Structure 1
Amino acid sequence: MHHRTVEELMSRDVVRARPDTPFKELVRLLEENDVTAVPVVDELDRPVGVVSEADLLRKSADQTDPMGRTPIPRLEAWERAKAEGSRAEEVMSAPAVCARPEWTVVEAARLMETHNVKRLPVVDEADRLLGIVSRGDLLRIFLRRDEAIREEITGDLLRRTLGLDPRDVTAEVRDGRVTLSGTVASRRLVPVVEQLCRGVDGVVSVSANLTYRTDDTRDAPTGS
């Protein structure tokens, strides 16, 4: 079973900012390149932070509402400093949370979830910027063709990994939903097959209509 890597999904043409990039230039970079965030890199092209639309919007949110309809939000000291910033290094979110190109989709998604970020700069062994991967990039695995998913399950997983006869277990895939049918040797093998199928890139759900020849979940008989 082969998980798609960050390198396969990331964008390589990355718009960059420098720590001293002015606020208005940051807004212009986002607008002209139709992106929602840019990594901020040092002189060695190593990410030191990320500037997103949310970071820049703090400046607008901190301004007085002339109509008095909404109150000025109460900001922490660090939030106030970012709202008053005029350069990338003053408004960026830091440190940059980065990924490696060899990571799987699962590893990248878990890091995004843990740090509550929408994108990850991708760096090499020297921490130099190689690309950027977003939530949308990771979601592209669900655009895999049903036939490609079925072939991976029946070939790589069922036959090569588990050693099952393709005549015993079949897999139907429709819109990423997998239905398994057939018979396996033991009852304990049923959840194993289900779990492995769920780990295939592009699988949305798994329904296992599997029977078994031997019930190996019962307690072994004790001697007299």
Structure 2
Amino acid sequence: MNARDIMTRDVETVSPGDDVGEVLGRLARADFNGFPVTEDGLVVGIVTQGDLVDLFQPSDRTLWIPVGFPPFLESLTYAVDLSWDELDFGIDLARNVGRPVEDVMTTDVVTAGPNADVDELLELLAGDERDINRLPVVDEADALLGIVAREDLLRAIRAERLGADAPE
């Protein structure tokens, strides 16, 4: 079993020039939390809910407070957003909604080839290096062929263990 066997072939994508507001709207209606960003069929980035949330809750408005007893050797850190209110959200929305996705997308995209086996897919999706939920499956030229989500991989492994065919 390899990526080609378990990938979703009909992948929703966005373009680098798409507005952040449009992409937010599409994500709100989707049952997943990110899109590959393609240009002329080639993967040039990926944009996730996390990328977009960062636009509306920037770290410069977050105060980190150590919680514990002195000398704080084993303290927890607690984040407090100093100004997360409707006015700030409205300002953030107005400032960012028309921005192109290319301004916020991740360009260092982890991808897999169509012949990547289950072990390689597991390492990419569940390894310690990155916290990613989906792998665009691309050919040698980075053309998008499909996508494998963590959920797809888990279902395929379960089906294999139960002796059933991999999901289509």
User: What is the TM-score with the length of structure 2 in the denominator?
Assistant: 0.69
Residue 71 of structure 1 pairs with residue 71 of structure 2: no
Gaps of at least 5 residues in structure 1 are 74-82, 150-200, 202-224
Question: Do the aligned partners of residues 147 and 87 (structure 1) sit closer, same or farther apart at CA in structure 2, a change above 3 Å counting?
Answer: closer
Gaps of at least 5 residues in structure 2 are 63-79, 85-94
* 1:27-67: CA deviation from partner (whole Å, max 9, x where unpaired): 12212332210000112x111111001001012212969xx
Q: For residues 81-160 of structure 1, what are the structure 2 equivalents within 5 Å? A: 86-112=99-125, 113=127, 114-144=129-159, 148=163
Kept after mapping to 1: 8 A contact 2:20/2:96: no
* 1:61-112: CA deviation from partner (whole Å, max 9, x where unpaired): 12969xxx62369xxxxxxxxx968211111111211111111111012123
Kept after mapping to 1: 8 A contact 2:52/2:104: yes
Kept after mapping to 2: 8 A contact 1:15/1:29: no
> How many aligned positions are there?
134
Residue 14 of structure 1 pairs with residue 8 of structure 2: no
% of aligned pairs identical?
32
* 1:129-153: CA deviation from partner (whole Å, max 9, x where unpaired): 011111111111342276628xxxx
Larger Rg: 1
1:53 is matched with which residue? 49
Stretches of 4+ aligned residues off by more than 6 angstroms: none
Q: What SS does the aligned partner of 1:144 have?
A: helix
- Give the Cα–Cα distance (whole angstroms) in 1 for the partners of residues 101 and 25 of structure 2: 13
Question: Do the aligned partners of residues 48 and 146 (structure 1) sit closer, same or farther apart at CA in structure 2, a change above 3 Å counting?
Answer: closer
- Give the Cα–Cα distance (whole angstroms) in 1 for the partners of residues 137 and 17 of structure 2: 22
- Give the Cα–Cα distance (whole angstroms) in 2 for the partners of residues 7 and 47 of structure 1: 17
Q: Could you say what the CA RMSD is over the residues aligned between the two structures, in angstroms?
A: 2.8
User: What is the TM-score with the length of structure 1 in the denominator?
Assistant: 0.53
* 1:152-200: CA deviation from partner (whole Å, max 9, x where unpaired): xxxxxxxxxxxxxxxxxxxxxxxxxxxxxxxxxxxxxxxxxxxxxxxxx
